[in-house]
Amino acid sequence: MKPVLEARNIRKKFFDPVEVEILRGLDLSVMPGEFVSIMGKSGCGKSTLLYVLSTMDTQYEGELYLAGQALQGEKPNELARIRNQHIGFVFQFHYLLPEFSVLKNVMLPALKLGLKSAEEIEHDAMEKLRLLDVQEQALKRATQISGGQKQRVAIARALINNPDIIMGDEPTGNLDSKNAQRVFDIFREITSEQKQSLLIVTHDQDFAAKTDRIIEMADGTIVSS
Amino acid sequence: MALFNPLLLGIAKTHLLARKKQSAIAALGVTFGIGVFIIMVSFMTGLNGLLDGLILNRTPHVRIYNEVKQSERQPIEDLAAYKDKAHIIHSIKPKNSQLKLRNGLAIRAELRKDKRVKGITPQVSTRIFYQAGAVQLNGNLAGMDVLEEARLFNFQQYIVGGKPEDLASNENAIVLGAGVAKNLSLQVGDYVQIVSINGSRERLKIVGLFQSGLADIDKVFSYCNIGTAQRLSGEGGDYFTDLHLKLHDIEAAAGMAEELRNSWGVNAIDIKTANAQFETGTSIRNMITYAVSFALLIVAGFGIYNILNMLIYEKMPDIAILKATGFSSGDVQRIFLYQAMMIGFVGAAIGLAFGFLASYGISQAPFETEALPTIKTFPVNFDPKFYIIGIIFALITTFLAGFMPSRKAGKIDPVDILRGQ
């Protein structure tokens, strides 16, 4: 089986205020359906690594492959399209668009992808909301629902295009333990049933312990994986 | 990459509708700018048209006439003995020649065949005296083909208390200058005694008054049929002093006049040369209109620029997530550019409607002046061209105002925002 995401010898430097090498030649791969967490102290470069892998940060050296396709040196518009189709994101904050309804928030990435009709997309979005048990909130504005619900809507949005991999930057960092557990269960379900991969940066020991694999980082390198 | 992406338009619309008050204020700036532009330009050009029409409508595009002047070739030039010598001649007098336009009939016949010519009317212009009792007033009587003159040069617009037909059907009638009538206490229906410079007299019935709006003309000029004027001058039916040409294209006038001077050796003057000052006045008034409207629109543009900048600052997290979920820089840029353009379009559309209503109101306001007998309300020009210019103007301004902020939005690095919080 081929890895969904593969990174070879990733290096990245920050130049401001002084030159620091924040990623020092990392190798990493994620298999389909694998649930991987990245852990490490603050400043070890784990978030930086995630954003390099996410294709949003293009200032790095090394090779990056998503579903076999080389991503380094791709044009920004092409990267945006790849993100749209193949990567889902969940952040510590929900980043729902406040002017839009919950349903519309979930639909937007699929509308951007434009492979299906608006009706089909709406149907899919409702499916995802149901999967995350927030279908009742579909027509409310994104500002009118609770924090835990918002995060679940954000996960539904990440899932709408059935991406190959979902990346998370502290997705449970802002949730109480009950909601965090719930999010974990959803993630687990996604990997086991949909065969989608998950790559989650987290501080939460308990959360990481339950994932398939923990990648430990320190000082810009991987100590164990 | 369609120019108008419905998804991005939808997002832009949602953004605007979520901030109705702010959007309305931004649009109001454009509305005001465009509204004022429409009002000003409609009223200004309406007035321009009226003022220019005062002169230009009744001025022939080319006037062919005979001028009393000295011979261009003095006899000494023909003497072999003084060839190659400098000739200094004192006190040259004008040549004694007829006022009659030479080859008049031939020129007329030739020009009637010319495709550029819309119409041609002969005139007999003669100096006369108006006599009422012991009083004699200097004057000028023009005999003409009345109906043609009405068709080509809007003669009927300047007649009060009568119709051109009344004159056309009566060889013993006159349309008296309003100023003359006032000075001589005459009215329509009265008779006036005309004395020509060679002494012949005619008693003519006043069938209308001529009021051009230019007092100096109304105090001097009167009009009659060409036959009447020929009779007064003691000349025959082939006598005329002027030929008035109206062309299909006024721009061709200068070339035509040049051509006539060269081929017939007559005096011919075109409308542009004769009335250069009107053109200048018109273009300066237009310039002022456009400058003021443009200034207003720039102010509106700055308003949009400001509001958009604020909006983008506020929307940084939204922009970041849009980019994370696959919207490109160009998409984000267009979302905000669309907002500027929507503000511009809606503002301009309301501005056009507002401008139209206001100028319609002005066009209904009474405006009566002695100088302009046929005008009862303010002149307003409802040329659709201005409305098109207005909306293009607004869209360009709002595009420029929106361009910089939306480019900034497009360049926002999502990583900075997503990591920063």
Which pair of structure tokens corresponds to residue B238? 């082939």
| Structure confidence at residue B264 (pLDDT) | 83
Query: Is the pLDDT confidence value at B418 over 90?
Result: no
| Structure confidence at residue A104 (pLDDT) | 93
Which pair of structure tokens corresponds to residue B145? 């083909």
Residues of A whose CB is below 8 A from B323: 56, 80
- A218: contact with B, CB 8 A cutoff: no
Q: How near does any CA of chain A get to the CA of B394, in Å?
A: 27
Q: pLDDT digit string (tens) for A71-113?
A: 888 898 999 999 999 999 998 888 999 999 999 999 999 999 9
Question: How far, in Å, CA of A45 to CA of A23, rounded?
Answer: 6
- A76: contact with B, CB 8 A cutoff: yes
- B418: contact with A, CB 8 A cutoff: yes
* Residue among B318, B325, B330 whose CB faces A157 most closely: B325
- Beta bridge pairs of residue A35: A198
**What's the distance, Cα to Cα, between the start and end of chain A in Å?**
19
| Structure confidence at residue B4 (pLDDT) | 76
- B357: contact with A, CB 8 A cutoff: no
Query: Is the pLDDT confidence value at B201 over 80?
Result: yes
Contact B327 A81 (CB under 8 A): no
Query: Is the pLDDT confidence value at B2 over 60?
Result: no
* Beta strand extents in B217-265 (DSSP E only): 221-225, 242-247
| Structure confidence at residue B1 (pLDDT) | 46
Q: Report how far Cα B324 is from the mean position of its chain's Cα atoms.
A: 58
Q: pLDDT digit string (tens) for B131-165?
A: 877 778 899 999 988 888 888 887 887 888 888 88
Which pair of structure tokens corresponds to residue A81? 């399209």
Contact A56 B415 (CB under 8 A): yes
Q: pLDDT digit string (tens) for B177-189?
A: 988 888 888 888 8
Give yes or no for a contact between B155 and B58, defined as CB atoms under 8 angstroms apart.
yes
| Structure confidence at residue B233 (pLDDT) | 85
- A2: contact with B, CB 8 A cutoff: no
The three state secondary structure string of A5-27 is EEEEEEEEEECCCCCEEEEEEEE
Average pLDDT, chain A: 89
Least confident of A121-125, B49-53, B392-396: B49-53
Q: How near does any CA of chain B get to the CA of A185, in Å?
A: 23
**Beta-carbon neighbour count of residue A189 at 10 Å?**
12
Q: pLDDT digit string (tens) for B244-263?
A: 888 888 888 888 888 888 88
> In a mutagenesis test of the B interface, which of A75, A83, A101 is the best target, namely the one with the most B β-carbons within 10 Å?
A83
Which pair of structure tokens corresponds to residue B372? 């302009």
Q: Which residue of A has its CA nearest to B12?
A: A99
* Residue among A51, A108, A157 whose CB faces B415 most closely: A51
Contact B14 A99 (CB under 8 A): yes
Residue B2 phi/psi, 5-degree rounding, is -65, 150
In CATH terms, the fold of domain A33-43+75-224 is Rossmann fold (3.40.50)
Residues in chain A: 225
Give yes or no for a contact between B141 and B230, defined as CB atoms under 8 angstroms apart.
no
Q: How near does any CA of chain A get to the CA of B314, in Å?
A: 12
Q: pLDDT digit string (tens) for B77-86?
A: 888 888 888 8
Average pLDDT, chain B: 85
- A135: contact with B, CB 8 A cutoff: no
Angle CA(B327)–CA(A126)–CA(A83) in degrees, nearest 5? 25
Give yes or no for a contact between A93 and B420, defined as CB atoms under 8 angstroms apart.
no
| Structure confidence at residue A119 (pLDDT) | 93
Query: Is the pLDDT confidence value at B355 over 90?
Result: yes
pLDDT-derived band at B265 (thresholds 50, 70, 90) equals confident
Angle CA(A78)–CA(A82)–CA(A86) in degrees, nearest 5? 175
Give yes or no for a contact between A33 and A195, defined as CB atoms under 8 angstroms apart.
yes
Percent of chain B with pLDDT over 90: 14
Q: pLDDT digit string (tens) for A32-43?
A: 989 999 998 888
pLDDT-derived band at B372 (thresholds 50, 70, 90) equals low
Contact B328 A111 (CB under 8 A): no
Which pair of structure tokens corresponds to residue A38? 């990245």
- A77: contact with B, CB 8 A cutoff: yes
Least confident of B173-182, B189-198, B279-288, B366-375: B366-375
Q: Which residue has the tokens 């035509």?
A: B256
Strand (E) or helix (H) holding B45: helix B20-56
ipTM of the complex: 0.90
- B327: contact with A, CB 8 A cutoff: yes
Where are the domains positioned within chain B? 6-56+278-420, 62-68+98-274
Which pair of structure tokens corresponds to residue A208? 């990481």
- B329: contact with A, CB 8 A cutoff: yes
| Structure confidence at residue B420 (pLDDT) | 67
Percent of chain B with pLDDT over 70: 96
Contact A83 B325 (CB under 8 A): yes
Contact A56 B325 (CB under 8 A): no
**What mean pLDDT comes out for the span A120-148?**
90
Most confident of B2-6, B83-87, B296-300, B352-356: B352-356
Q: pLDDT digit string (tens) for B83-130?
A: 888 888 888 888 776 778 878 888 888 888 888 888 888 989 888 999
Residues of B whose CB is below 8 A from A100: 14
Residue type, B163: K
Whether pTM exceeds 0.90: no
Contact B326 A91 (CB under 8 A): no
